[in-house]
């Protein structure tokens, strides 16, 4: 986390006038358009502007001061081995359960007198949570720190004083960690919802009566913070009348199936 006070060369009790005068002085020195251009000036100038924009705004400064105080406490705690970030539970992703009706596809192939040894392919779209690509599933901006929640001590659960029941910690939202800067893409959730395409491919002569279930492991909702992915469970439905017309039975059903993104 950047120390805006150090960037402007002022202490944390500095008033508005001192913040403004320090900014003007430094901006004049490190402006990228200066005659003696320095390749480091641009980055320095960006930091100076960022610091001034935050500290000159009462609301932004107040929010920054709170986060900076937590950051310093976290940093000092780590140096003194007083705070050890940990998580006592994993957050597994949920299974996705869907039913897919293949009756129309099979009836169409039967009416066209297709060879029943041919492949029948069915493509469906599903919505699922995947690991946030921006923060790589960490929930925080790259290069920033997180700290263990002081209320639940990383477990994500606290005991209700009245009922004695363990409930989700309100301070950290049940995640066990507090992010000083949440990921802008997933807002600290560590995953995002997206649409993906599943292609199921099998041979007609492998059909059996009734509904069959198949499971695509790890293709359900993504787990977060070390939790495993859920599964995608597909219940395949085929009308009994169509199956009787085909009059083909077998103990096997799907010869292959694949999973890929849109």
Task: Tell me the CATH number at 71.
Answer: 1.10.287.110
End-to-end CA, the chain: 37
Same domain, 201 and 237: yes
Report the chain's mean pLDDT, rounded to a whole number.
77
- In this prediction, residues 82-91 reach a mean pLDDT of 44
Total number of domains constituting the chain: 3
Domain boundary among 179, 201, 236: 179
pLDDT band at residue 77 using 50, 70 and 90 as cut-offs: low
122 forms beta bridges with 200
Same domain, 163 and 43: no
pLDDT digits (tens, 9 = 90+) for 126-149: 999 999 999 888 888 887 777 778
**Is 241 among the domain residues?**
yes
Same domain, 13 and 57: yes
pLDDT at 260 over 80: no
Same domain, 113 and 159: no
Dist CA 103 CA 211 (whole Å): 11
**Is 41 among the domain residues?**
yes
Same domain, 55 and 171: no
Same domain, 113 and 229: yes
Q: Whole-model pTM?
A: 0.52
Strands 256-261 and 166-168: unpaired
Same domain, 39 and 128: no
**Is 91 among the domain residues?**
no
Same domain, 197 and 175: no
pLDDT band at residue 33 using 50, 70 and 90 as cut-offs: confident
Same domain, 217 and 110: yes
Same domain, 20 and 127: no
The pLDDT, as a whole number, for residue 130 is 92
pLDDT band at residue 75 using 50, 70 and 90 as cut-offs: low
Structure token digits, residue 10: 């002022």
**Is 208 among the domain residues?**
yes
pLDDT band at residue 55 using 50, 70 and 90 as cut-offs: very high
Same domain, 32 and 110: no
Same domain, 164 and 236: no
pLDDT band at residue 189 using 50, 70 and 90 as cut-offs: confident
The pLDDT, as a whole number, for residue 82 is 38
**Is 139 among the domain residues?**
no
Residues 230, 92: contact at Cβ < 8 Å? yes
Residues 26, 8: contact at Cβ < 8 Å? yes
Q: Which residue has the higher pLDDT, 84 or 100?
A: 100
**Is 115 among the domain residues?**
yes
The pLDDT, as a whole number, for residue 255 is 45
Contact residues for 241 (Cβ-Cβ < 8 A; gap 6+): none
**Is 195 among the domain residues?**
yes
Q: What percent of the chain has pLDDT over 90?
A: 8
- In this prediction, residues 214-231 reach a mean pLDDT of 85
Dist CA 194 CA 186 (whole Å): 12
pLDDT digits (tens, 9 = 90+) for 145-170: 777 788 888 777 888 887 788 887 88
pLDDT band at residue 240 using 50, 70 and 90 as cut-offs: confident
Q: Which residue has the higher pLDDT, 240 or 256?
A: 240
Give residue 163's domain range: 146-179
Residues 137, 191: contact at Cβ < 8 Å? yes
**Is 233 among the domain residues?**
yes
């Amino acid at each position: 986390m950047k120390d805006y006070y150090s960037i402007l060369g002022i202490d944390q009790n500095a008033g508005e006038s001192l913040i403004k005068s320090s900014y003007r002085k430094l901006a004049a020195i490190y402006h990228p358009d200066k005659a003696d251009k320095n390749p480091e000036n641009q980055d320095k100038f960006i930091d100076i502007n960022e610091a001034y924009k935050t500290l000159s705004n009462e609301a932004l400064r107040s929010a920054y001061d709170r986060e900076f105080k937590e950051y310093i406490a976290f940093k000092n705690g780590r140096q003194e081995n007083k705070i050890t970030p940990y998580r006592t539970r994993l957050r597994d992703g949920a299974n996705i359960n869907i039913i897919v009706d293949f009756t129309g596809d099979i009836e169409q192939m039967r009416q066209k007198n297709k060879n029943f040894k041919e492949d029948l392919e069915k493509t469906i779209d599903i919505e699922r949570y995947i690991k946030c690509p921006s923060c790589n599933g960490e929930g925080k901006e790259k290069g920033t720190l997180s700290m263990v929640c002081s209320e639940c001590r990383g477990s994500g659960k606290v005991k209700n004083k009245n009922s004695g029941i363990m409930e989700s910690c309100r301070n950290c939202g049940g995640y066990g960690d507090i992010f000083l800067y949440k990921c802008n893409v997933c807002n600290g959730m560590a995953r995002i919802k997206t649409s993906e395409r599943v292609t199921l491919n099998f041979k007609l002569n492998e059909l059996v009566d009734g509904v069959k279930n198949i499971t695509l492991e790890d293709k359900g909702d993504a787990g977060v913070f070390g939790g495993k992915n859920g599964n995608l469970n597909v219940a395949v439905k085929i009308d009994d009348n169509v199956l009787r017309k085909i009059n083909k039975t077998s103990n096997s059903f799907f010869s292959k199936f694949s999973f890929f993104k849109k």
